[in-house]
Amino acid sequence: MITDTIKKFVSRLFSPAARGPQRIGPDKHGIDRRNVSRHAIKVCEVLRQHGYEAYIVGGAVRDLIVGLEPKDFDVATNATPEQIRPLFRRARIIGRRFQLVHVVFGQEIIETSTFRAPASENQETDEHGRILRDNVFGTHEQDAARRDFTMNALYYDPHNEEVIDFHQGVADLKKRQVRMIGDPAVRYREDPVRMLRAVRFAAKLNGTIDPATRAPIGTMASLIENVPASRLFDEMLKLLTCGHAMDCLRQLRAEGLARGLLPMLDVVLEQPGGERFVELALERTDARVRAGKSISPSFLFSALLWQQVDSRWKQLRAQGEHNIPALVQAADSVLDEQTEKLAIQRRFTSDMREIWFMQPRFERRLGKTIYRMIEQPRFRAACDFLQLRAAAGEFDSVLAQWWMDLANGNDAIRAEMIDELSRQPQTASEASGLRKRRRKTRRPSAPRAEA
């Protein structure tokens, strides 16, 4: 009895007292209110005026603290979707697994969600433990507990400019450490995509994954196979456009996650020149992201899969298949294998094919063919892709630059370039292409009359 009393006293003495969240002022968190979306602030103000709590939450708060520009802004509130929607002129309720409200301001959408309760035994899951429906509302504290990582459980109050921190997320951000809230194994089972998010955040912040958060990933990587393909594609796109894509891919391979995303990625990177080509593509993508420029998913995935397409294209030609049919077969087989795991949307695969199918046509600069190529919708993207191939040593750099100059020129410059080309001697490949065209179009001669 006395021993138990002593143990309880010691436990209370050294255990931290239960207390509420940290409230961190602007002098400590460093967020400049001028960098916060005025529309997100407006949503918070309207909800407050109607008696609700409302905070900017998640990735926007995380990025603002570390000095990055957020891509979008989300709001969390204790108002339900049915209470939120009538307060705004343009708002709609979306989602089944996770119901929320999109408040629309021109081109900007403020995603507004109700505080959620943590997972419970009564929630609907699949046979692997992945949560299928998540519409159980809760308190502010419960909402923080159900979020994945401490750095994403931060709430910014634009009214008093405080950051509300339930799980020492600001401290983890300062250390550039990705740490899971709760038991990592349980949280990964609830949503396997969290393993991919851990890798992305660590790469994006140039940081590390907390050892306890990282430990289960190797043994639970196979759960990625249970994630819907469309959601997997969305997460893969985020990985590739976070500004640190190559670091993400290397970390995915190190954690054993790459085969669940792009099944052929390991094979691509192991081929001669394969890793160099992928590095060049992702370096250019990262540079565009950091410069605030737009990214084309079609171009990105066409670059990632090109080594496989090119390899099969060469194999089919070696077997006697004609050039263009061989390329079509190679592209179809690679895309068929990829779309089993990764739901690349049809509009993207269509653009990818156009970019690939134009590559053989760059080898010959023949008369009207050039004008027909310029009229193609993906001509500029195909020229950019050609530049990538030239940088990787796959294509003549001088010829690639000629095509890029043509793409950048106006009509007068293009006409002058093509006219000048007609007065120059043809290259061996162009002369070969012209002979083939003449053979195809040459009419058979009339039979001679017998004597």
Please write the tens of the pLDDT for every residue from 394-439: 999 999 999 999 999 999 999 999 888 877 765 555 555 445 544 5
User: Could you give the CA distance from residue 294 to residue 202 in angstroms, rounded to a whole number?
Assistant: 23
Tell me the per-residue pLDDT of 57-96, one tens digit each, with 9 for 90 and over.
999 999 999 998 898 999 999 999 999 999 999 999 998 7
Query: Between 266 and 375, whose confidence is greater?
Result: 375
For the chain, what is the mean pLDDT? 84
Does the pLDDT of residue 368 top 60, yes or no?
yes
Query: Between 299 and 291, whose confidence is greater?
Result: 299
User: Could you give the CA distance from residue 47 to residue 102 in angstroms, rounded to a whole number?
Assistant: 14
Q: Where does the pLDDT of residue 293 fall: very low under 50, low under 70, confident under 90, or very high at 90 and above?
A: confident
From 270-274, 311-315, 333-337, the region with the lowest mean pLDDT: 270-274
pLDDT given for residue 126 in this prediction: 55
Catalytic residue list: 72, 74, 148
DSSP label at residue 104: E
Q: Where does the pLDDT of residue 186 fall: very low under 50, low under 70, confident under 90, or very high at 90 and above?
A: very high
One-letter amino acid at 321 equals: E
Please provide the size of the chain in residues.
451
User: How is the chain split among helix, strand and coil, in percent rounded to 5?
Assistant: 55, 10, 30
pLDDT given for residue 162 in this prediction: 96
pLDDT given for residue 239 in this prediction: 87
Cβ-defined contacts of 225-230 (< 8 Å, 24+): 225/260, 225/341, 226/126, 226/128, 226/130, 226/192, 227/130, 227/192, 227/193, 228/343, 229/339, 229/341, 229/342, 229/343, 230/343
Number of Cβ atoms within 10 Å of the Cβ of 234: 13
pTM of the full predicted structure? 0.75
Does the pLDDT of residue 101 top 80, yes or no?
yes
Does the pLDDT of residue 199 top 80, yes or no?
yes
Mean pLDDT of the 259-285 span? 73
Q: Which of 289, 310, 291, 217 is nearest to 257 (CA)?
A: 217
Q: Where does the pLDDT of residue 134 fall: very low under 50, low under 70, confident under 90, or very high at 90 and above?
A: low
Q: Where does the pLDDT of residue 249 fall: very low under 50, low under 70, confident under 90, or very high at 90 and above?
A: confident
pLDDT given for residue 130 in this prediction: 53
Distances (CA, A) of 193 to 30, 111, 230, 232, 269: 30, 20, 12, 8, 23
Q: Where does the pLDDT of residue 170 fall: very low under 50, low under 70, confident under 90, or very high at 90 and above?
A: very high
Q: Which of 240, 141, 232 is nearest to 194 (CA)?
A: 232
% of the chain residues with pLDDT over 70: 82
283 contacts: CB under 8 Å, gap ≥ 6: 246
pLDDT given for residue 15 in this prediction: 39
Does the pLDDT of residue 174 top 70, yes or no?
yes
Mean pLDDT of the 287-305 span? 86
Provide the token pair at 364.
């010959």
pLDDT given for residue 424 in this prediction: 72
What radius of gyration do the chain's Cα atoms show? 28
From 278-287, 387-396, 401-410, the region with the lowest mean pLDDT: 278-287
Mean pLDDT of the 144-153 span? 94
pLDDT given for residue 240 in this prediction: 86
Query: Between 49 and 221, whose confidence is greater?
Result: 49
Mean pLDDT of the 211-235 span? 88
Tell me the per-residue pLDDT of 4-43, one tens digit each, with 9 for 90 and over.
544 444 444 343 434 678 999 999 999 999 999 999 999 9
pLDDT given for residue 43 in this prediction: 98
Provide the token pair at 240.
């590739």
Phi then psi for residue 294, to 5 deg, are: -75, 155
Confirm if 286 and 245 have CB atoms less than 8 A apart. Answer: yes
pLDDT given for residue 259 in this prediction: 66
